[in-house]
Amino acid sequence: MAASGLNQTLIGVFMMFGVSLGALAYQVLGIAGAFVFDIVGLTAAALLVRACRISADISLPNGPADWRSIRWSEIRSDFREGFHYIRNFPLLLSLVCGFLLFGLLNGGFAVLPMYTMKYKLAPEHYTFYSSMFAVFVGIGFLLGSLIGPALVNRFKPYRVILVTLLSTGILSSGLIAVDRPWLYLTLVLMIGIMLAPLNIAIGGWLPALVDPRQMGRVTSWNDPLLMLGQSVSLGLIALLYPRVLPLEVFYTALAIILLLVFIFYAFTLPRFERQLVPDAQNETALM
């Protein structure tokens, strides 16, 4: 849980300062200079990661491997094995299925804030407020990452997930009727505060549920599901806005998605978590 909280803190810091640094690089260095700035930053990050000393049982839980031994058939086999592992673990299946709906949410929030500022709240200053959206979300993530580990340590993870999902859905519904940019950003700040504990609860719970040897095979399904949901969301927005549906309909859809995930998790996570406890007790007795 501590590692997941630290990860959310880093995400918050990145969102606060990343947009500002990107805008500054673009203004001072131009578009080509900004790309060079990105290349230098990514190269430095890669070298720093390469310099980390990580034990082999963590970095290579399934034993040594090299690029020449990696074949398409093995990749397909790992994906299939991860799918069967998830399917046979109801609690894990419920958590992973939620990533598809989270992808729909990510896709909506990727473009809707800019459209909202440009065509509704602040047409003359939409670039400024669009940048402030990332800053406010980052501040929210930073604040949420400070309280998230304490919440997860005090309450069961599924309770944190349910409360933060419901709160985020309610706050997102408030974006439908907002008519001032700073009020919009205030709600975004509160949404960020709720999302950080949600991510900490899910990110910290998964390693406790999954066999370390299967962790890579399980998490390899998370990003494809997220990207699928995000692509579907962005595609629908591109096709339907503004000729068919207004912005308010999309915000309503995002709030409904969050509430649907809340209802789905409310019916599945507590039941599967209760089933998991006796199984863990039986394994302990056998040992």
Q: What residue type is assigned to position 167 of the chain?
A: S
**Mean of pLDDT values over 46-60:** 79
For residue 273, is pLDDT > 90? no
- Domain boundaries in the chain? 2-55+78-276
Give CA–CA dist 136/237, Å, rounded: 23
**Mean of pLDDT values over 62-75:** 69
Q: Name the token pair of 92.
A: 């894990």
160-196 pLDDT, tens digit per residue, is 989 999 999 999 999 988 989 999 999 999 998 998 8
- pLDDT > 70 fraction of the chain, expressed in percent and rounded: 82
**Mean of pLDDT values over 94-121:** 85
When pLDDT is cut at 50, 70 and 90, the band that residue 15 belongs to is: low
For residue 10, is pLDDT > 70? no
pLDDT score, position 106? 83
pLDDT score, position 281? 43
Note whether 200 and 5 are within 8 A (CB). yes
When pLDDT is cut at 50, 70 and 90, the band that residue 81 belongs to is: confident
- pLDDT > 90 fraction of the chain, expressed in percent and rounded: 12
Backbone φ and ψ of 53, nearest 5°? -100, 105
204-238 pLDDT, tens digit per residue, is 777 777 877 777 788 888 888 888 888 999 999 99
For residue 280, is pLDDT > 50? no
Q: Which CATH number fits domain 2-55+78-276: 2.60.120.650, 1.10.10.10, 3.90.850.10, 1.20.1250.20?
A: 1.20.1250.20
Q: What is the dihedral of CA 197, 89, 80, 284, to 10 degrees?
A: 100
Averaged pLDDT of the chain? 80
For residue 198, is pLDDT > 50? yes
When pLDDT is cut at 50, 70 and 90, the band that residue 50 belongs to is: confident
Give CA–CA dist 146/156, Å, rounded: 17
Of the given ranges (12-26, 118-132, 212-226), which has the lowest mean pLDDT?
A: 12-26
Give CA–CA dist 53/191, Å, rounded: 36
Give CA–CA dist 16/138, Å, rounded: 5
When pLDDT is cut at 50, 70 and 90, the band that residue 2 belongs to is: low
